[in-house]
């Protein structure tokens, strides 16, 4: 490399301009994902179905719980209210996370989806888990008259809730299957709906069991225990969702398979002597940042370095479509050992 110098321009609204080693400018284009908006529309429909179900069920559970004086049913009402609020958070996440990049947020707003998912986890913990614990403890210590006349209506409400929550869960599972299955699910909004609906179905079963045992034995401890179990279940789900959102917010690397494909492509380039470093970070549900430090074979001039860098970035964008931010730190080992400046190029869009 003959006296190449490092110069990288910052991205702007129209696209990043990256100065190549010889001073030429390379304009990147932002890859448009056709699968992203379509998946968002399906997720939005899934969230709206869950929201409608939870609003109706919350009212029914509240009325049934007050009529029966059932702590388990009131806990389930709080659970449904929390889920309804969380669906509002998820709808905000779907809308705000698709805003285009600007000067203040050059990497876009994809991580907003992770932030609103974190708020949803907090909502499940506070409004669902804590209230359920309160109802369970209150039932154990309060000396209230048992209202068995309302328990039949309460169990009927739970039966309707089971059908509605089950239908919402089936809708979410169907969409997750279309996106590769629950094990590979990357969308935090859909993952939250799945967790909420699955927990809701199990919570209804626990509440119904507690109410039925209370009716048969006359012991309120069964219903109080069901309320405490619902609270523990919600706390565990909230912790799991919150931990995932935290990892994504602070900067989670791309999955090992994606990183492996990137490294394999770099290793296969004849102009690359070695890959000194590879860094990835998810910047959204279907977007990622890729930065690599590579050593080139000796003897390449600046013009050839520019051509190689542009070709490699375009190849990476083809192999990893979600890599919409690609940066290469191109160096020559011999130049580095003699204290000369490396040539670095960066490109937004990788195309």
Q: What is the structure's pLDDT at 347?
A: 45
Among 12-16, 130-134, 140-144, 255-259, the range scoring the smallest mean pLDDT is 12-16
Instruction: For residue range 141-165, list pLDDT tens digits in order.
Output: 875 555 666 677 778 888 888 998 8
Whether residue 282 is predicted with pLDDT greater than 50 in this model: the reply is yes
With vertex at residue 28, the alpha carbon angle to CA 23 and CA 31, rounded to the nearest 5 degrees, is 170
* Tens-place pLDDT, residues 19-68: 333 333 333 333 333 346 677 788 888 888 888 888 888 888 888 778 77
* Residue whose C-alpha is closest to residue 115's, from 55, 192, 39: 192
Locate 258 and state its tokens.
């994606």
> Can you give the pLDDT at residue 32?
34
pLDDT tens-place string over residues 209-253: 988 888 888 888 898 899 899 889 989 998 998 998 888 888 888
pLDDT at residue 334 in the model: 54
Q: What is the pLDDT of residue 206?
A: 92
Predicted confidence at residue 147, as pLDDT, reads 60
Residue 148: its pLDDT value, please?
A: 62
| Percent with pLDDT over 90 in the chain | 8
**What are the tens digits of pLDDT across the range 188-203?**
888 888 888 899 899 8
Could you list the beta-strand ranges (E) of 189-337: 272-284, 287-296, 323-332
C-alpha angle with apex 305: 299 to 309, nearest 5 degrees? 140
Predicted local confidence at residue 1, as pLDDT: 42
Distant-in-sequence, close-in-space partners of 347: CB < 8 Å, separation ≥ 6: 16, 18, 26, 28, 310, 313, 326, 327, 328
Model pLDDT, residue 73: 77
CA distances from 50 to 177, 203, 214, 234 (A): 17, 16, 30, 17
Between 171 and 9, residue with greater pLDDT: 171
Name the nearest CA neighbour of 117 among 98, 97, 89, 81: 89
Please, are residues 154 and 67 in contact by the beta-carbon 8 Å criterion? yes
What's the pLDDT band for 335 if we cut at 50, 70, 90?
low
Q: What pLDDT, in 10s, does the model give residues 120-142?
A: 888 888 878 888 888 888 888 87
Tokens of 252: 């989670």
- Cβ neighbors of 17 (< 8 A, separation 6 or more) are 9, 11, 25, 26, 27
**Average pLDDT score over residue span 246-268:** 88
Q: What is the pLDDT of residues 55-110, one digit of tens each?
A: 888 888 888 778 777 777 777 788 788 888 888 888 888 888 888 888 888 888 88
Q: What pLDDT is attached to residue 323?
A: 86
Are β-strands 25-27 and 272-284 bridged in parallel, bridged antiparallel, or unpaired? unpaired
């Amino acid at each position: 490399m003959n006296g190449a110098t490092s110069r990288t321009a910052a991205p702007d609204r129209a696209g990043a301009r990256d100065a190549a080693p010889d001073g030429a400018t390379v304009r990147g284009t932002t890859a448009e994902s056709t699968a992203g908006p379509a998946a968002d529309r399906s997720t939005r429909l899934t969230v709206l179905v869950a929201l409608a179900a939870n609003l109706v069920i919350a009212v029914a559970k509240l009325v049934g719980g007050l009529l029966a004086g059932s702590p388990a049913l009131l806990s389930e009402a709080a659970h449904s209210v929390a889920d309804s609020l969380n669906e509002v958070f998820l709808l905000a996440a779907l809308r705000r996370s698709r805003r285009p990049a600007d000067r203040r947020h050059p990497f876009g707003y994809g991580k907003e989806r992770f932030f609103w998912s974190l708020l949803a986890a907090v909502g499940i913990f506070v409004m669902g888990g804590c209230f359920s614990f309160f109802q369970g403890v209150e039932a154990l210590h309060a000396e209230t008259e048992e209202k068995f006349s309302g328990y039949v209506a309460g169990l009927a409400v739970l039966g309707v809730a089971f059908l509605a929550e089950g239908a919402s869960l089936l809708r979410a599972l169907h969409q997750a299957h279309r996106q590769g299955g629950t094990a590979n699910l990357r969308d935090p909004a859909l993952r939250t709906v799945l967790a909420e609906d699955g927990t809701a179905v199990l919570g209804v079963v626990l509440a119904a069991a507690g109410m039925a045992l209370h009716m048969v034995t006359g012991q309120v401890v069964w219903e109080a225990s069901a309320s405490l179990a619902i609270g523990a279940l919600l706390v565990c789900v909230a912790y799991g969702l919150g931990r995932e959102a935290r990892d994504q917010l602070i900067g989670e690397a791309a999955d090992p398979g994606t990183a492996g494909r990137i490294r394999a492509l770099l290793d296969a380039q004849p102009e690359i002597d070695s890959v000194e470093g590879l860094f990835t970070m998810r910047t959204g549900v279907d977007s990622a940042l890729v930065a690599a430090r590579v050593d080139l074979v000796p003897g390449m001039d600046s013009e050839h370095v520019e051509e190689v860098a542009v070709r490699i970035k375009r190849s990476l964008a083809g192999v990893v479509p979600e890599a919409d931010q690609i940066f290469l730190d191109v160096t020559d080992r011999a130049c580095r050992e003699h204290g000369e400046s490396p040539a670095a190029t960066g490109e937004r869009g990788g195309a």
